[in-house]
Copies of this chain bind each other. A is one copy, B any other.
C-alpha cells in the first residue's frame, strides 16, 4: 500500500466530472481530487415526500437532507446545469421496494423519473474524506491502487419510523484507524454535521453495539469494497452514518411504485466547495 493517494486521471471541475458520468467515461466518485460536497440520491413518488422528510428529520445522522426537488424537476441549485437523472455514474431502480433486475446499476434513469417524482439529496461522508486526508489521516481505501470504494455495513440498529417508512436499519461506512488517532479523527469529522458528522461508534466494542462485529472481522461488506483492518499496528474500525440507509428503508418498508437511488459509492458531485459545506442548510 503506497503512502499517498495514487494519482488518477480525473476531470478537473465538478461540471466536467458530471458530464463525464453522463457520457459514461467516468464511473466512480470516490477519492476525487477536486473537493466538493458529494450527495446521496433518493427519488420517490411525491406522495411519500412528507414522510421521507420526516424520516430524515428523525434520523439526521444517517439521513441529513440537503435539498429536495420540486415534483418532476431533475435540477438543483447545488450544481450548475446538472441533470440528476443522468449525472451520477450508476443508479438503482426499485419497484414496490424491490430492486428491478433491469434497473440494477444503470447509467440513466430518464425513463423512470416521472413528473410525479421528487428527488432528495442527502449528505455523504465522501465530503469529509479530503479533510481527513489533509490532516494526515487518509482513509485506507483512498490509498489502494486502484482506489476502492469505502466498505459499508448494514447494522441491526432500527431507523426511527416515519409514516409509511416503518422499516429499515442504519447503514454505516467503515474506515480503519489506530486507536490512538480516533479522538482526532472524531474531531475532524465533527465539523461536517451535514455529512454524517462524528462517527457513530468505534472499536470492536462499537462494532458489537452495531451488531456487525462478525461481518467486520471477516470483511463481509454489504456495500462497497473491503480494505482490511491491521490489528498488528493497532488499527480498529471506525463507523460513520451512511446515506445508503434510505435505500434499505425503501426496501424494508416496501414503498409502493418506482423509487430510484444512486449505487452505493457512485455519488452526485455538487459545485459546493467542501470548505463551504457549513453554508448548506439542514
Contact = CB atoms under 8 A, between A and B. Distances in A.
Interface string A186-212: 000010010001111100000001100
Contacts of A220: none
A132 interface: no
A199 B161 contact: yes
Interface string A132-173: 000000000000000000000000011011110000000000
User: How many chain copies does the complex carry?
Assistant: 2
A43 interface: no
Contacts of A119: none
Contacts of A200: 158, 160-161
A157 B158 CA distance: 8
B58 A61 contact: yes
A252 to B, nearest CB: 12
Contacts of A190: 54, 163
Contacts of A201: 158, 161
Contact of A57 (B54, B60, B209): B60
